Each structure stands twice: as C-alpha cells, then as structure tokens.
A and B are shown apart, each in its own frame.
Chain A
Amino acid sequence: MKQRKALLAAIIIAVVLMVALASTRQYYIAIALGVEVLLVFRREIWHLGRYRRLPPFDERFQENAKKAARNSFIYMSVATVFLMLAYAINVDYVVDYEPFQVLGWLLISGGLVYLLGYIFYDRVEPKLRERELKRYWTFLRIAGIGFGCAITSIFLHNVIGRFVGIEEPVFFVIGVLLAPTAMGVGLVGSLVYFIKGLLRKQLPEINQPDDERIQP
C-alpha cells in the first residue's frame, strides 16, 4: 500500500512540475521529466493499462529497483560533477548548449541508466553464467574507465591549454582517441553479454497450466 501511495505521489508531483515548467516555457526539461517518468514507471503504467491494476511490488522487485536507483543516482552525481567542471572551464561543446537542455539530457540519461540497471538485475543477471557475468562486469569497467579517462583528459588538455598556453598533445590523444576506443570496446562487449542474457530463453514463454503440471 505504501508503494502504491508513493508511486501515485511521484507521478502527481512529476505532472505538476511538468505543467509548471511548461508554463515558464522550459519545454526541454518538461519533456525530459515526462520521458523520465515514463522510463522509470513504464512497468506500472503498462500493467495498469493491460490489467487495470498495479503490479505486485514484491521483495525481488524492491531489491532490483533499489539497486537500479542507486546506480542511477551515482551516474547522475558523477555526470553533474563533470558538467559543472565543463561549465567552470568553458568546454565549448558543453557550454554551446542551454543549461536547461543539458539538464534535460541528464534527466533522460539518468532514467535510461535506471531502466537498464533494473532490466539487468531483473532479467539478465539471473540468466548469465558465472563466467559470462565476470566478462560482462570487466567490459563495463573498461567502458567506465574509458569514459572517466576521456573526460579527465579533455579537462586536463583544456586546463593546460588555457593556463600554460601550449597545445598539449598527450591528453589530447588520450581524450580523443585512446579513451573513447576503450569506452567503445567496453560498451560493445557489455552490450553483447547484456543482450545475450536478455534473449536467453530460460523463462517459459507461456504459463500454461497443462504444460507445467507435474504428476505427483
């Protein structure tokens, strides 16, 4: 019951915020908030539409949702710090965009991180073998390290260029070539295992009583 009330409250707050933002012509962030709500509550909305009632908020759902929300929070915190750094040193391809646009994309990507995290814990992780799971995490770490290195290198390249006045080559090569390549490899690798786990048919397709019935 608590979860149902919390869900209802979250949706009402989001709708009120969207209307308020749209009335002040902040359309980007209003749309982003709408997309975020759809991404985060897609399961509840789908279930409500199909069965005319909310799905059970069982303990497994709560565990997975908590883990996914934690991942999304970490992602948004780290991304916010990087964006603040980018604004602080005037990185051209970030500052070119309106802050509300950037905030909108941050919200949408945060919702996506939540969704992917939830799908992973709910559907992918239980279906991957131990060895595959290890490889998945290794690829994800490579992608994360690549992403961190790329942002840090671009930041350092800009700082050195701005304050020392030289066109620094090492961080430029790392930030533009090496780190993005590592990130790409990591992302593709982890995506392969993610899809592999998602598509693996361990769950029965249809829950037919006759198929499942076991003779005692």
Chain B
Amino acid sequence: MKTKIKEYRGRYNLTQERLAELVGVRRETIIFLEQGKYNPSLRLAYNIARALGASIDEIFIFEEGED
C-alpha cells in the first residue's frame, strides 16, 4: 500500500512528530506508514485522513494484487 501522508504533511507544514501527536501514535508508526511498511486500522487511517484534511482514499492508495 502506498500513502500520500508525506505529501499532505508538506502542505500543512506538519512534522512527523506533530502528526503523530495529532492522531495519538508514535512517530515510528508515521515513518513506517509513509514507507508503506505498515497497514493501519480503519480508525487510524480515518484519523490521519481527517488530520490531513483529506479522505482516506486520497491518502492511502491500495494497489491491486496486494494482500
């Protein structure tokens, strides 16, 4: 799964630390999400999308053929 978290963070000048605080997770979680190495729960995906002022499918791009 690819994400546009980094891109959207840039728009709002949000650091990983600040976004992590906003959605109540650790910075490492944001890092691994940005690298596509962690699949978030629907709740976390929703919280991140809301914090970045976008919808879930704008932030998280699910690629065909993935588990």
A interface residue count range (under 10 / 10 to 19 / 20 to 34 / 35 or more):
20 to 34
Chain A hits for B24, CB < 8 A: 56, 58
Contact of B27 among A207, A209, A215 (CB under 8 A): A207
Chain A residues with CB under 8 Å of B38's CB are 60, 126
Give the residue of B6, B35, B44 whose beta carbon is less than 8 angstroms from that of A59. B44
The CA of A197 and the CA of B23, in the complex, are separated in Å by 27
- In chain A, positions 91-110 with a C-beta closer than 8 Å to chain B are none
Closest to A209 in B: B15
Instruction: Decide yes or no whether A137 CB sits under 8 A from chain B.
Output: no
Q: State whether A207 touches B28 (Cβ < 8 A).
A: no
Cross-chain contact of B28 among A122, A215, A216 (Cβ < 8 A): A122
Partner of B26, one of A61, A126, A204, A216: A61
**Judging by beta carbons under 8 Å apart, are A126 and B25 in contact?**
no
Interface residues of B in 1-59 (CB under 8 A from A): 6-7, 9-11, 13, 15-17, 20, 24-29, 31-32, 35, 37-38, 40-41, 43-44
**A92, B29: Cα distance in complex, Å:** 48
C-alpha gap A56/B25 in the complex (Å): 6
Number of interface residues of B (CB under 8 A): 25
Contact B41 A59 (CB under 8 A): yes
Could you show 19 A-B contacts with beta carbons less than 8 Å apart?
A56-B20, A56-B26, A58-B25, A58-B26, A58-B29, A58-B44, A59-B29, A59-B43, A60-B25, A60-B28, A60-B32, A123-B28, A126-B35, A202-B35, A209-B13, A212-B6, A212-B15, A214-B10, A216-B7
Chain A to chain B: the 9 pairs with minimum beta-carbon distance, closest first: A214-B10, A58-B25, A126-B37, A60-B29, A209-B15, A216-B11, A207-B17, A56-B24, A126-B32
